[in-house]
């Protein structure tokens, strides 16, 4: 496995920065300065896809697709998701850049199984995925998750769940991770807050690779981050993960990362 971990304090001192207001610019953080220095960033949201660093640099998410605006926080039917919901957005086959019409709390009925080439962009809104199962990135590629509050995630499953417009299948009980990456690649998780989930905050296992985890704020949790689930699973030797500019905050116990 190849892991690159940037020490935030040493970088801060080296560049003599820092002003961390939400729209601060010129901080020396190459990810933030890439898009925040544009005063019209809200009109140029897809510029974000040019900004990842490290092994997940190639993650383009939904850059080449249309915008999809989530208008409905409900998740009542996981086999036939309602248009306008986050679940309906993430299972589509085509690339999509997903934004939110307003602040919302999304309590998922089952794990949110994502399809490839999706960006979940929470900038400008207060979006929480909380109180139920959370995000699963399984055998898909090119995912960006930015600016989402993910917390109090629970186990879910033992039910049918749709993962694309033309397929749904039976899912056994999930682990209760905030973000579960299982055999995924080209993934970037940035500027999310994560806390108090049933299992891990972010787990990357089963040959997942080309991942950047950056600028996240993690608090109040036991098993924080797992990179590779077993020494005997040889495919994980190819795993490449960059961990940069994250805040490992109060109330954390272990796996920072393991």
Give the active site residues: 255
DSSP symbol at 41: G
Q: Are 187 and 56 in contact (CB under 8 A)?
A: yes
How many CA atoms are closer than 13 Å to the CA of 78, on its beta-carbon side?
Answer: 20
Distance CA 96, CA 110 (A): 21
Does residue 231 sit in helix, strand or coil? coil
Other Cβ atoms closer than 10 A to 189: 30
- Helix (H) or strand (E) holding 168, with range, is strand 167-171
What is the DSSP pairing of strand 141-146 with strand 202-205?
Answer: unpaired
Instruction: From 175, 184, 250, select the one nearest 212 (Cα to Cα).
Output: 184
Supply φ then ψ for residue 185, to 5 degrees: -150, 160
Distance in angstroms (rounded) separating the CA atoms of residues 222 and 254: 6
């Amino acid at each position: 496995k190849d892991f690159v971990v940037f020490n935030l304090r040493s970088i801060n001192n080296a560049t003599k920065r820092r002003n961390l207001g939400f729209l601060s610019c010129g901080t020396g953080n190459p990810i933030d300065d890439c898009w925040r220095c544009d005063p019209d960033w809200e009109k140029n949201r897809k510029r974000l896809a040019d900004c990842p660093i490290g092994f997940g640099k190639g993650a383009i998410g939904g850059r080449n697709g249309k915008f999809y605006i989530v208008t409905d926080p409900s998740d009542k039917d996981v086999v036939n998701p309602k248009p306008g919901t986050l679940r309906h957005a993430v299972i589509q086959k085509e690339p999509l850049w997903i934004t939110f019409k307003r602040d919302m709390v999304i309590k998922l009925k089952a794990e949110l199984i994502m399809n490839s080439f999706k960006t979940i962009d929470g900038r400008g809104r207060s979006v929480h995925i909380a109180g139920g199962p959370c995000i699963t990135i399984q055998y898909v590629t090119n995912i960006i998750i930015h600016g989402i509050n993910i917390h109090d995630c629970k186990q879910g499953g033992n039910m049918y769940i749709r993962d694309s417009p033309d397929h749904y299948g039976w899912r056994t009980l999930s682990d209760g991770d905030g973000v579960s990456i299982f055999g995924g690649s080209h993934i970037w998780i940035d500027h999310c807050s994560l806390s108090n989930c049933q299992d891990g905050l972010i787990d990357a296992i089963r040959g997942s690779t080309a991942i950047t985890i950056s600028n996240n704020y993690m608090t109040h949790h036991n098993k924080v981050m797992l990179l590779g689930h077993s020494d005997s699973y040889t495919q994980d030797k190819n795993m490449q993960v960059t961990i940069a500019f994250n805040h490992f905050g109060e109330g954390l116990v272990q796996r920072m990362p393991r």
